[in-house]
Amino acid sequence: MRREWRKMAKFAFVGAMNTGVDFAVFAALVYGFGASTGWAQTVSYLCGFLNSYVWNRSWTFRTAGRIDVRELTRFGAVNALSFLLATAALLGLQKGLDWSPLAAKAASIVVSLAVNYVGSRLWVFRGETASAQE
């Protein structure tokens, strides 16, 4: 059980990094370059996706071996679902409830984190780990 808590803490830390990357890119695109919310969401989420894969694979879940196309595909599928749900929350809050883009973005992150942890833990990175001492 202690190992699971450690993984969850690492996942949360990586999630905070991803959120920082995602949020910073989103804000820069919307407020710095005047990009539309939907386009900025796509680009910023992709940046967070890449950061997430690298850190969660190598550090959080310590997956052994070379990158596997099936693993990357599963990671992409989990993140696609997360992206769709987070984007629906973002646009629904911004357009439907008239929230500011940043407030709606912050709320959508909760949706994204929940979907990503469950999917990553139970489906993507469930294979062999680099060390049993996680």
* C-alpha closest to that of 95 among 83, 108, 82, 80: 108
- State the pLDDT at residue 134: 42
Q: Greater confidence, 60 or 49?
A: 60
Angle subtended by helix axes 69-91 and 37-55, to nearest 10: 140
In a domain? residue 32: yes
In a domain? residue 70: yes
Q: Greater confidence, 73 or 134?
A: 73
- Lowest-pLDDT range, 48-57, 63-72, 81-90, 95-104? 63-72
- State the pLDDT at residue 98: 96
In a domain? residue 129: no
In a domain? residue 20: yes
| C-alpha 53, offset from chain centre | 9
In a domain? residue 37: yes
Res. 27: pLDDT tops 70: yes
- What Å distances lie between residue 106 and 29, 77, 84, 86, CA to CA? 16, 22, 15, 10
Q: What percent of the chain shows pLDDT beyond 70?
A: 94
Entry pTM: 0.65
In a domain? residue 117: yes
In a domain? residue 130: no
- State the pLDDT at residue 129: 52
When divided into structural domains, the chain yields a total of 1
Domain that holds residue 19: 2-124
Q: pLDDT tens, 78-118?
A: 989 998 999 999 999 999 999 999 999 889 988 888 888 88
In a domain? residue 40: yes
